[in-house]
Amino acid sequence: NRRGVAILIVEQNAKEALRLSNYGYVLTMGRNALEGPGEELLRDEEVGRLYLGRG
């Protein structure tokens, strides 16, 4: 954020969490699978298919 403070959110609602975040990390089996700006991750085809219920 503008103050340079990082906030960790662990949330089941991935769509809402990514919508609210400036930057996000997607973990799979405890490892970083994807990362990027929240809005970019929301548009990512793989994130949509695996985590947001898009077929």
pLDDT of residue 10: 86
Q: Domain spans of the chain?
A: 1-55
pLDDT of residue 6: 85
Q: Which residue type occupies 46? A: E
Instruction: Report how far apart, in Å, the C-alpha atoms of 29 and of each of 13, 19, 32, 33 are.
Output: 18, 23, 8, 9
Q: Phi and psi at residue 17, in whole multiples of 5°? A: -60, -45
Which tens digit of pLDDT belongs to each residue from 1-55? 678 888 888 888 989 999 999 999 988 898 999 999 999 999 999 889 988 888 7
pLDDT of residue 1: 62
pLDDT of residue 54: 83
pLDDT of residue 45: 92
Closest by Cα among 32, 23, 17, 18 to 1 = 23
